[in-house]
A and B are shown apart, each in its own frame.
Chain A
Amino acid sequence: MSAGVSVTAIPAQTRGWQRDLIGISVILIAALAGYFLFPNNLALLTRMIAIMLLVLSLDLVTGYCGVATLGHAALFGSGAYAAGIAAAHFGITEPITMIAIGAIGGALAGLISGVVILRGHGLAQLVLSIAIIHLFHEAANKASEYTGGSDGLSGISPDPILGVFEFDLWGRTAYVFGIVLLLLVFILLRILVRSPFGMLCRGIRQDPVRVSAMGASVKLTLIKMYAISGLVAGVGGAFNAVSTQVVGLDSLSFTNSAEALVMLVLGGVGSLYGALIGTIAFIWIEDLVSAANPFHWLTIVGALLIAVVLFAPKGLYGTAATFVERYRRGAK
């Protein structure tokens, strides 16, 4: 096969960029397909985008740095509340500004979480992350003056985007806005994980001792990554606040964090595509099964998760990638 030969002749770096171009166009095509094939499901798809940003952000610390956390929604929720409070109490209703405020809120929460969580190792780390999410949740519950407490923060009414595109009942504007955000974040993250900094993080995941022997500060690097991760999760949270016009305590909940982790592992840890695919698969199945049987759908979702571990132990994307790899080798 001459094509195969020519592909292998290209240096690995360039080939990676080619693959990214293909990846991004696949996302674009999927986004367009979603818009035209499911015009009545845009609310669901929009929620999916917000969660995708959360799962991508989780992948940065879990997949690329090897930090196990069950408290990642703290970053997402902080972004959501930051944007929501800015809109509801301070009259900042310009959507792009709201997203920026959310990103800053998320980054701050990421810094705090990072400093605390990175203190522990293994199980202790997991427990610190659980403590963090409960503290954030309780703090939001207590500050009901600003957050609306358990009743949720309502009264968020974002302006039309760029003063032109209004948020409508069908959720078209929100969906397109979300896709644009997602693509931007995705491209930036691809650059990030390829950068020397991203490589350093992967190095830490594989062997922290060696990395520190090389003279790099493990902790500082991870905290930086945590802040970046917070930025991404904050964008997701803020986008959720903008598109649903409400923020609830659930956005800061342990359940939300655990679900994000499940989606990530389902898709495949350590790959941005895995994060996207895991989110789509989980939310889509959940929606399908819970609409078909709102009373007993949990059993089916549970059985599917078990099946994934048994038959696709590297996650959906990881296993598919292995298959493709094997096929390619076979074809040569």
Chain B
Amino acid sequence: MEWLFLVVSFVAVLAAGMMLTRQNAVHSALFLIVNFGCVAFLYLMLDAPFLAMVQVTVYTGAIMVLFLFVIMLLGAEATSDTSGTMRWLGFAGTAVAIILLLIFAFPLASDMLADETIERPDTQARLRVINAIPGGEAEVFTVMESGFAMPLEGTVSSNVLLDAADESFEDLRLDDAVYQYARESIQAYVDLPAGDYTVIAGVGDGNYVSGPIYTETVNLAPDSGHSVVFFENSENLIDVVVVQDDVSAPSVGKMRLTVFNAVTDKQVSLVDVGQYTARRSLCENGSCSSLIPHSVLIERLPAGEKTSLELEEGSYNLAFVDQNQSVLRTLADYDAERGLIETRVLVREPGVPGSQPSYRAAVFNTIAIPAFGSPEAVGQVLFIDYVLPVMLVGVLLLVALIGVIVLARPDALAQAERRRINRRRRVNRPLVSVISQQTGADVLSGDYLAKLPGGSDDKAAE
């Protein structure tokens, strides 16, 4: 890798030097293209594939073609480059370059001598809470600390946010903790700085925790997603697991479906029942007892675990069945959209004790985190955070377009020349004085004046 960088940067510097020293402007332009190509390669090495492509198309493509076109158009390949009057500029240029070199090199050298490792800021990780406790009324709170308390949800009021930031980890008492409810089964992902977190989770009423308290240290890696899932275990106690979610983009033309089984004492399989139109109406309410599966997508997922699969774009009839092949829940006409990341959590609906239990496949969608430097990542920042600058640049380009059209009007110069000639011919003297100058006759006196049209007026004016 290092030799690659050395070779490419050497070629870049060499091309720049050749560009500066060639007398023929066409050669200079071609060497500049080599330099731009090297820079595009370096962009690729710097994890910026989108910019590398823009560099090649815009710089080495469009801009350099424009340069070459103008050089050829003017026939200015070898215009004299020497200056008669400003010889000293060469020395001044060298001096300024040396001064610039010192200015640039000083902070770099001092930084290298100081040998300080720069503290890189943490990039973002994502965490969410899924409450899959039957009944859904239980309040759940989660606290994370990495030196300081971090509220889980951005909608927590700013007061709470400030208090949390002020409090150190040691001072943090549980009843002071920033808490988070997950009444409605799911919270959207919360962005957090990546790092090690202690997730404290339990069921509480907002101020106090009752029931089992769960503590786990989780490493939230950059660009990863985790879910804290609350579910009921087989002893009817609340259990908590932290699972890592796959938030990368699914394969092209596919969607990713993640299934989490939060149903106690059931091993859930996901089957594709195909076009079972005759039986679908029967199974819609989950009352049909058995189905012959077309193909098994997920086999015997134990409670408290999750698994992922990728589905081709299209429509499916899916069914969740337990280990006895009885249908828990059907998903008829399930549309698999490309690029979608969906999590289905299978939960038992709270019902009257003793009645037939029903099940629900709660749905949570996720937006994939685009890879660093990819067109998606740049586009998201460009059109979300920088909408106004993008528009201003658009206006700038429009102005440049109009400016070029005005400058390049084919007869702009000829028109200006004609206008100047016309202006020179306009005479701002009385006609009689012009005639007297051209004929040599003294028309200003005698009776010539009377014979001239308007001559008496001129005389009156004088």
A and B interact physically: no
